[in-house]
Amino acid sequence: MKFDRGIEKKHRDSIEKAFATIVEKGDDFHRHMMNEFFESKMLIKVEPVAKINASGVTSVINTVKTNVRMVRERLSLRDALGEIYISIAAETIGDGFQRGVEGTFVHEGRHAYDFAQTLESLSNADVNPIGVFNPNLYEMEWEAHLNAGRWMLRVDKPDYVDEGVQLMILGQKANGSYFLNEDGIKQRLRDSYGLTVDGNVGSLASEMMGLRV
């Protein structure tokens, strides 16, 4: 993993602290995801929220170069991660909101992982055409929300789980315990993203990355 040039030290320190916390407190997939990031050349960027219009975004670094590599090479997952960047809003870090930094990378990290899986799969499609991985936006957001919910449950602190309930990612039982709220996530995807599993599922990952496949 590498950091973009010009990132302020306080921003990098906050990001590295978030990564360490995810490894320490996350589940098996969170740790696996972070390890793959660490061992790859995935790019981490910090940009103004006015530019990215979100707390974080994930995409390919250079669409033209990625398309060329897809034609010429068979990519492993770690090779593919080197084509991906995650950008976090400077304002998310600047507020000293460490929970927000962690949550952004847990959510966007799942997108990065799925984009990389798509690149790996499509670059090897000639030898494994049946097993091509190319999820649609609904599927990607579903997995990212589940990843975020599992993270909130692992940390299990009031501010984390309360946010999860507010976002309809978590639910609370009568005995006070919390659970992944799959119905709530479906409602959130419908109301906030306009996505439904049996209706508008959005673009394919390959289309979102601008791949010519």
Kindly report the average pLDDT of the chain as a whole number.
96
pLDDT for residue 94: 76
Chain segment 137-150, per-residue pLDDT in tens? 999 999 999 999 99
Find the mean pLDDT for residues 64-81.
Answer: 96
122 assigned to some structural domain: yes
Domain range spanning residue 180? 2-208
Q: What percent of the chain has pLDDT over 70?
A: 99
DSSP character at residue 84:
E
Task: List the alpha helices (DSSP H) in the chain.
Answer: 9-25, 28-38, 49-52, 63-72, 77-81, 90-94, 98-123, 137-155, 158-166, 182-193, 205-208
- CA distance linking residue 110 with residue 187, whole number of Å: 20
34 assigned to some structural domain: yes
Find the mean pLDDT for residues 149-176.
Answer: 97
Label residue 204 exposed, middle or buried (CB < 10 Å: 0-12, 13-18, 19+): middle
pLDDT for residue 97: 78
pLDDT for residue 127: 84
135 assigned to some structural domain: yes
- CA distance linking residue 18 with residue 104, whole number of Å: 10
Residue 213, pLDDT > 80, answer no
Number of separate domains in the chain? 1
Residue 106, pLDDT > 70, answer yes
Chain segment 14-30, per-residue pLDDT in tens? 999 999 999 999 999 99
**pLDDT band, very low/low/confident/very high, at 95 (cuts 50, 70, 90):** low
Find the mean pLDDT for residues 162-185.
Answer: 97
213 assigned to some structural domain: no
- CA distance linking residue 144 with residue 72, whole number of Å: 30
Q: Which of 53, 78, 65 is nearest to 2 (CA)?
A: 78
pLDDT for residue 16: 96
Here the tokens at position 86 are 């995650």
